[in-house]
Amino acid sequence: MASSTYDSIYRLIESLPVVSTHEHHLPDDFQNSLTLDRILERERSYVGWVLDLTPGLDASSRAEFLAQCRHNSYYVWLEKGIQRVYGFREKITSENWDRVSQQISDFHADPDAHLRILTETGRYRRAIEDAYFDPGSDLGHPEIFASNFRTDMFVRCFHPDVLDHDSMNPFRHYPGIPSGNFDDYLDAVQARVLRWRENGGVALKSASAYDRPLSYGEGDRAAASQVFGRHPETVSPGERAAYEDFVLNWFCRMAVRLEVPFQVHTGLALLSGSRPLLFEPTIMRHPDVHFVLFHAGFPWYGEIAGLAHNHANVSLDMVWAPLISATAAVAALHQFLEVARSSDRIAWGSDTWTSEEAIGALLAWQHVVATVLSEKVDTGYFDMAEAEALVHKLMYRNAARLYGFDLA
Ligand SMILES: [Zn+2]
């Protein structure tokens, strides 16, 4: 039974706007074609992507799919999101599958339905879009989305035949970008990033922990220049790492110049290489860069709590964490509130591709916030007035302040 403190904090949460620090919301044409099956596709939901489970089309393979994933957190919160958006309480089963799917499809006949779910059901005011498929895009909806700029393909790729983990490559994505001379190439990347910032971009973003370990060295321009343009078969692992080190540090210096935070994926990528502590030398090398460490560093949330304790240039972001495990996110948020230099340093994003899963992620986050703050009140750590002030910070104010959103 939730305490009355939980209930009253939850009611306050539900009355407040939401600012999300991180989404992979897909473009209109995909959203307008949604069905239950499409929501669950690989690379469109965590059930499909991480669990590597997608339903077949007949009743028995749908029943088998549900039996496989029903107790996993990604499925649990996605189902809660769908229930909330479409106003039903029963579980999704192979029997009601087609009816639910038809309801989703009918709703998205309105081309703005996916945006209305975010702004009406989800109370979203602003969100940062990470369009890794089109870096810097706001999906044509600048009233909701501001963009971050994904650095991964630039860090990873020194030749047209090298792809990052999203199969992106700058020489393929930007035909005409200089490929013969490293200085000309960097000038072109810089011009592109400056233009993105002038057009309202709000953060740099690295998800390179899916490509390599977070243990970046200092890097060296001459060494990187030696690698640039060479065929990957002629480049040793050490040379490749040196190139990546240089370009990642180059983007750190760009973050200072652009006056934007640098969002960094930690935890759950190439697993052992995504340990947050591996990133500490880079945090210390760039004291003037504001690093936002993502995903609560799960499963190493204690490590990013330690980094935030020791380093003034670190913020903590709970993005994705409540969906991965609300239990772990509760433990993490307790620690973060206790050790962060300021409670202004904690924010959240849904990290999802569809509005339905975004609502599930938001429900998970609301549950985590209400649980942690009510426990803090009920155990006498602080009083209800502090909990209420924190709710405003965690749901929208911290993110709005850090990324410069005017919510007035
Ligand atoms: Zn993400």
pLDDT, tens digit, 9 for 90 and up, residues 183-238: 999 999 999 999 999 999 999 999 999 999 999 999 999 999 999 999 999 999 99
Tell how far the Cα of 183 is from the centroid of ligand 1, in angstroms. Answer: 31
Tell how far the Cα of 346 is from the centroid of ligand 1, in angstroms. Answer: 17
Percent of all residues in the chain with a pLDDT value above 70, rounded to a whole number: 100
Tell how far the Cα of 266 is from the centroid of ligand 1, in angstroms. Answer: 11
The whole-number average pLDDT for the span 162-180 is 95
Residue 184's pLDDT is 97
Tell how far the Cα of 380 is from the centroid of ligand 1, in angstroms. Answer: 35
Tokens representing 8?
A: 């009253």
Tokens representing 314?
A: 């670190």
pLDDT, tens digit, 9 for 90 and up, residues 56-80: 889 999 999 999 999 999 999 999 9
Secondary structure (3-state) at 189? helix
Tell how far the Cα of 255 is from the centroid of ligand 1, in angstroms. Answer: 19
Q: Which residues have C-beta within 8 Å of that of residue 239, sequence separation ≥ 6?
A: 223, 226, 227
Tell how far the Cα of 177 is from the centroid of ligand 1, in angstroms. Answer: 26
- The DSSP-derived string for 77-116 is HHHHHHHHHHT--SPP-TTTHHHHHHHHHHHTTSTTHHHH
Tell how far the Cα of 15 is from the centroid of ligand 1, in angstroms. Answer: 26
| C-alpha to C-alpha distance for 405 and 395, rounded to whole angstroms | 14
| C-alpha to C-alpha distance for 349 and 318, rounded to whole angstroms | 7
Q: Using 50, 70 and 90 to split pLDDT, how confident is the model at 135?
A: confident
Closest C-alpha to 260, from 296, 288, 293: 288
| C-alpha to C-alpha distance for 408 and 405, rounded to whole angstroms | 9
The mean pLDDT value of the chain amounts to 96
Tokens representing 5?
A: 């403190």
Tell how far the Cα of 219 is from the centroid of ligand 1, in angstroms. Answer: 26
The whole-number average pLDDT for the span 122-148 is 95
∠ at Cα 158 (157, 163), nearest 5°? Answer: 30
Tokens representing 31?
A: 């959203």
Q: How many other β-carbons are positioned within 10 Å of the β-carbon of residue 184?
A: 12
Phi and psi for 74 in degrees, rounded to 5? -60, -45
Per the CB < 8 A criterion, the answer to whether 395 and 125 are in contact is no
Secondary structure (3-state) at 22? strand
- The DSSP-derived string for 284-320 is HH-TTS-EEE-GGGTT-HHHHHHHHHH-TTEEEE-TT
The whole-number average pLDDT for the span 301-318 is 96
Tell how far the Cα of 145 is from the centroid of ligand 1, in angstroms. Answer: 15
Tell how far the Cα of 133 is from the centroid of ligand 1, in angstroms. Answer: 12
pLDDT, tens digit, 9 for 90 and up, residues 65-121: 999 999 999 999 999 999 999 999 999 999 999 999 999 999 999 999 999 999 999
Tell how far the Cα of 225 is from the centroid of ligand 1, in angstroms. Answer: 30
For the cut 80, the answer to whether the pLDDT of residue 1 exceeds it is no
For the cut 90, the answer to whether the pLDDT of residue 43 exceeds it is no
pLDDT, tens digit, 9 for 90 and up, residues 239-280: 999 999 999 999 999 999 999 999 999 999 999 999 999 999
Q: Residue 286 burial (CB < 10 Å; 0-12/13-18/19+)?
A: middle
| C-alpha to C-alpha distance for 207 and 164, rounded to whole angstroms | 10
Amino acid identity for residue 167 in this structure: S
